[in-house]
Structure formats: structure tokens, C-alpha cells
């Protein structure tokens, strides 16, 4: 089983929607026995909370129900997860620092920014944080995350030679 962890600051906006979208894509591609995912935050601001109400409402408009409870990224995650996908550069740096403290390796080929997989190249490395924004930014985050998660899934399928049941789900 391949394990992917999506990471943002509080684990109530960006990373839970990435987890929900990615899980849906994995299921639709018939890969739920090969790929698992979760999400976490680099801060402890919202531990135990459901995703932000606006995140849940936006996801529900797209047919996703988000029930994840916020949790903090911890050292044990480094052993449990194969890939770490940060929503922005600050959280990428936090993952890399945790990895360095645990392993002595600063950066690896298993720690990514989600936007590295964005086919809509605009040189913006970060998924915007919608927490202090309006509904339009929550929708923007959803759309960015959807297209990036599709490409991430394609990348993982190619890297691990998984057989997809439903090809159109990640195209």
C-alpha cells in the first residue's frame, strides 16, 4: 500500500480538500487497494476539528463529503507515509525540517509541492490559503487541487506501475 500525506498549516482548508479529491480519484481509478491518503497540518491550531465549514460546503457542491478531523504532522508520519505533498512553500519547509531532524536528509524525491503537478503553469508555487478569503478563493483552491491531484495520481501510477481500472478518471 502506497501512503500519501497532504499537508497545510491548520489542516482545515487546503489539505483536507486535497485528501478528499485524491481519495475520490483513487477510488474512481480502482486503486483504493494500492493507494491510501490522509492529511495533516504543521500547526496545532485546529486539532480534532472538522474541515472549515466553507471548505466542506465547497467540497459538497462538487459531490465530496469531508469528515477528516484535523491533526498535526508528527515524526511518526515519516515512517508511515511514502509521499508528502505540501500546499505551500512554508509547509514544504516544515516537512523537510522534520525529515532532516529524523533522518539527516533535508530534501528527498518523496516530498513535493502540490503545484509541482499543476498542468496550468503559472509559476505560482503555492495553493492559496482561503481561510481569510471569500467563497471564490475556496472554489479556486478546489479547482487547483483537482487538476494537481489528477496529475499527482498519474505520476504515482507511472512511478509504481499500477494498473488503472478507469483511465478517464485521471486524464
User: Which residue segment(s) compose the domain that 36 sits in?
Assistant: 2-169
Pairwise pLDDT comparison (12 vs 134), residue with the higher score: 12
C-alpha span between 169 and 120 (Å, rounded): 18
Whether residue 56 contacts residue 69, with contact meaning beta carbons closer than 8 Å, is answered with: no
**In the beta sheet, which residues pair with residue 7?**
40, 86
- 8 included as an active-site residue: yes
What CATH number should be reported for the domain holding residue 120?
3.40.50.2300
- 14 included as an active-site residue: yes
Catalytic site residue from 118, 129, 148, 149: 129
Radius of gyration in angstroms for the set of CA atoms belonging to the chain, rounded to a whole number = 15
Among residues 11, 22, 124, the alpha carbon closest in space to that of 72 is found at: 11
Catalytic site residue from 14, 23, 115, 150: 14
pLDDT digits (tens, 9 = 90+) for 109-128: 999 999 999 998 777 899 99
Total tally of structural domains belonging to the chain:
1
- 115 included as an active-site residue: no
Q: Which of 8-12, 26-30, 36-40, 162-166 has the lowest average pLDDT? A: 162-166
Instruction: Tell me the whole-structure pTM to 2 decimals.
Output: 0.94
pLDDT digits (tens, 9 = 90+) for 25-73: 999 999 999 999 999 999 999 999 999 999 999 999 999 999 999 999 9
Amino acid at each position: 500500500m502506497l501512503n500519501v500525506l497532504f499537508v497545510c498549516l491548520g489542516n482545515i482548508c487546503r489539505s483536507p480538500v486535497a485528501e478528499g479529491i485524491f481519495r475520490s480519484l483513487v477510488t474512481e481509478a480502482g486503486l483504493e487497494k494500492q493507494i491510501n491518503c490522509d492529511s495533516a497540518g504543521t500547526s496545532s491550531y485546529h486539532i480534532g476539528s472538522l474541515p472549515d465549514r466553507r471548505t466542506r460546503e465547497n467540497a459538497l457542491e462538487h459531490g465530496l463529503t469531508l469528515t477528516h478531523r484535523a491533526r498535526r504532522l508528527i515524526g511518526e508520519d515519516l515512517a508511515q507515509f511514502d509521499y508528502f505533498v505540501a500546499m505551500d512553500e512554508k509547509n514544504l519547509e516544515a516537512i523537510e525540517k522534520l525529515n532532516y531532524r529524523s533522518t539527516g536528509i533535508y530534501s528527498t524525491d518523496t516530498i513535493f509541492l502540490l503545484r509541482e503537478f499543476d498542468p496550468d503553469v503559472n509559476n505560482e508555487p503555492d495553493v492559496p490559503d482561503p481561510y481569510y478569503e471569500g467563497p471564490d478563493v475556496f472554489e479556486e483552491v478546489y479547482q487547483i487541487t483537482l487538476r494537481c491531484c489528477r496529475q499527482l495520481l498519474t505520476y504515482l501510477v507511472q512511478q509504481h506501475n499500477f494498473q488503472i481500472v478507469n483511465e478517464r478518471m485521471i486524464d
